[in-house]
Structure formats: C-alpha cells, structure tokens
Amino acid sequence: MTRLTTGGALVLALFACLPGLAAAQAGDDTVKKIEEYRQALAGGNPAELWEARGEDLWKRKAGPRNASLEACDLGKGPGVVRGAYAELPRYFADTGRVMDLESRLVHCRMTLQGLTAAQARARPYGSGTDRSDNEALVAFITSESRGVKMNVPQSHPKEREAYQLGKKMFFFRGGPHDFSCATCHSESGKRIRLQDLPNLTEAKDAQRAYTTWPAYRVSQGELRTFQWRLFDCFRQQRFPELEFTSEASVALTTFLARNANGAEFNAPAIKR
C-alpha cells in the first residue's frame, strides 16, 4: 500500500507539470500522455509487474544446472535480498572485484545456474515483447531495499579506487561536443527543453536521482534501471557505448551510489 501511495504521489507531482508540456507538444501526443498518467495513477505503479516477474525469476530453477538464484550472495550473505541493493556496489572477496547489482547477478547466473557469460549478459534492457530478465530481477531486488537508507561502503581499497575512477569519469570531458557528465549535471535549476537536469554534484539532487531508479517510464512504457539511465546519458554525451557490467560502468555507479548515502531508497519509482 505504501508503494502504491508513493507511486501515486509521484504521478501527481508529474501531472502538475503537464500544462508546460501541453504548450510545447503537439495536441494528440499530450492527450495520449495525459491518458497514460491517468491510467498509471489509477492502477498504481506498473513497475510492480516487473517486480513480480523478477521475484519469480529469482526463485525459479533455470539454466543447465537447473538451479534458482536464491543462494546468490548479494553482499549480505547467500539468499539475503532485503537491504542488499542499498549497500551496492561493494567489494566481493570471492571474485576480488567491486561489483554492482548487475555484475553480481551475471556472476550468480553463471556460477549457480551454469549460464555462459554471453547468456548471462544478454539483453540487459528490454523493449516491448522482447523482455529483459535482467530488468525484472533488478526491479525485484531493488524493491527489497525500499525504505532502507543508502549505505554504500568505502572500507576496502578497491571500493575507494572504484569511487575515485567513477569521479574522474564524471568530470572527464570528451567526444564531439567536449561534454562531461558535469556539463549537464553540475548546476542547479538547469534544464534541457522541458526536462529538469539534476545537479549531481549536490547531495540533495544526487540522493534523489539515485534513490528513484529503477523507474517505470511512462513515456516509454518500460521499466528502466539505473544502468539504462547511465547508458542513455552516455549516448546523450556522444560517448562510446557504456558496456554493461564493465569496470567503467561499475566505477561510475559506485561514485553515484555512494554520493546518495544517508538517503532512503525509494524505488522502483515512476517517471515521465
């Protein structure tokens, strides 16, 4: 019920911005969007469909070894899902690496279920009927951190290394426009067209941005993960594709997740 209320409140907040949108967009499109917001408002957050499918995937036996993922150690011990996402990315002694949720899931699908690396990494983002198991699993696992305070560790040297690398990436300028993340995300009250640009160098915006992903995107009719958000901002930055579960991806995630420490995690959310 809390979940539905949160979703509803967010949709209401988004709804309040619609007059601005209406002025800028073609009429038909706006009417359709309003209808989508109304439906979302009436039925709670559609992200719940992804959460339910993810829970099923977590518990269902699959792969060459016919095993479920329930023994997967997400950092708080085998099988502990509650609160795990709020402490990721973190260092894992069994792999000797800092891992975010997605790279840990790939690891568990390989070691527990016997998938190949290519199979475990396949289709990180879904579209329409081409659904992504990764997105569903992430929706389920993140939902189990709802209400938990972000507490990403920096005690292991490799965790500190990942944070510093991520910070460097955030401020690194390059590509055809000489953009860095900071170009679009280091001033308050900035926007592109009608979209608010969070100031990710400021605690409040950084916390809100991180703790509200994954999100059901009304404009796309899809649940999107934080990894997808980074992937898409790389595209906006005209950078080479951000490789799923790569060291760069984990480092940037570590930087942004750690900067959200202290804030309550509140996703899967619902967004424009």
Catalytic residue list: 233
Q: Which residue in this structure is represented by tokens 């527990």?
A: 112
Q: How far is the CB of 239 from ligand HEC (least distance, A)?
A: 7
Q: Is it true that the peptide bond before 46 is cis, omega within 30 degrees of 0? A: no
Site size with ligand HEC, rule: CB under 6 A: 21
If one asks whether residue 195 binds ligand HEC (CB under 6 A), the answer comes out as yes
Site for ligand HEC in 130-189 (CB under 6 A): 170, 179, 181, 183-185
List the one residue out of 17, 16, 267 whose CA is nearest residue 143: 267
Q: How far is the CB of 231 from ligand HEC (least distance, A)?
A: 9
Q: How far is the CB of 252 from ligand HEC (least distance, A)?
A: 6
**b/e string for 48-67 if b means 16 or more Cβ within 10 A?**
bebbebbbebbeeebbeeeb
Report how far residue 132's alpha carbon sits from residue 112's, in angstroms, rounded to the nearest whole number.
Answer: 19
If one asks whether residue 198 binds ligand HEC (CB under 6 A), the answer comes out as yes
- CB 141, CB 58: distance < 8 Å: yes
Question: Given the complex with ligand HEC, which of 141 and 209 has the nearer CB atom?
Answer: 209
Report how far residue 81's alpha carbon sits from residue 67's, in angstroms, rounded to the nearest whole number.
Answer: 17
If one asks whether residue 113 binds ligand HEC (CB under 6 A), the answer comes out as no
Q: How far is the CB of 59 from ligand HEC (least distance, A)?
A: 30
Tell me which amino acid residue 245 is.
Answer: T
Which of 228, 234, 244, 265 contacts ligand HEC by CB under 6 A?
234
Binding site for ligand HEC (CB under 6 A): 170, 179, 181, 183-185, 192, 195, 197-198, 200, 209, 212, 229-230, 233-234, 236-237, 252, 272
